[in-house]
Amino acid sequence: MAAQKITAEQVEGWLRIWPKMLVELDENVERWDEMPDWEQVDFMLEWSQFVSFLENVLCPAYESDLMTKAQREQYKELLSKLRKAIPTIQQLDLTRPRVALEV
């Protein structure tokens, strides 16, 4: 499979969306047991997609030095927030990111 070229727009878009996903994670943990099964599954699938983009778009962009200085700082901040969210991720049995959470 040929490697997909990562664009600046993809990096920018995903860096903008991730903080919203982490807010949603915090909101969902508080009401997880009351959420209908379909809503839990929907969030789990959405979370998996976000983790996939982290692993396949953002991490390679960072490692390949394709990010601007500002984007690199946003990425580091994202990783810091993800580190802090690991207990919640585990509690909800969500996909744990398979990237180094420290750079």
- Delimit the domains of the chain by residue range: 8-91
- The Cβ of residue 72 has, within 10 Å, a number of other Cβ atoms equal to 16
Tens of pLDDT, residue by residue over 60-81, are: 999 988 899 999 999 999 999 9
Query: Residue 90 is inside which H or E element, if any?
Result: helix 69-91
What's the pLDDT score for residue 46?
95
Query: Cα separation of 11 and 59, whole Å?
Result: 10
The model's pTM: 0.85
Positions in the chain whose pLDDT score sits under 70: 1-4
Q: Which among 95, 68, 94 is positioned nearest to 12, based on CA atoms?
A: 68
What's the pLDDT score for residue 99?
87
CB 82 within 8 A of CB 97: yes
Query: Cα separation of 80 and 65, whole Å?
Result: 19
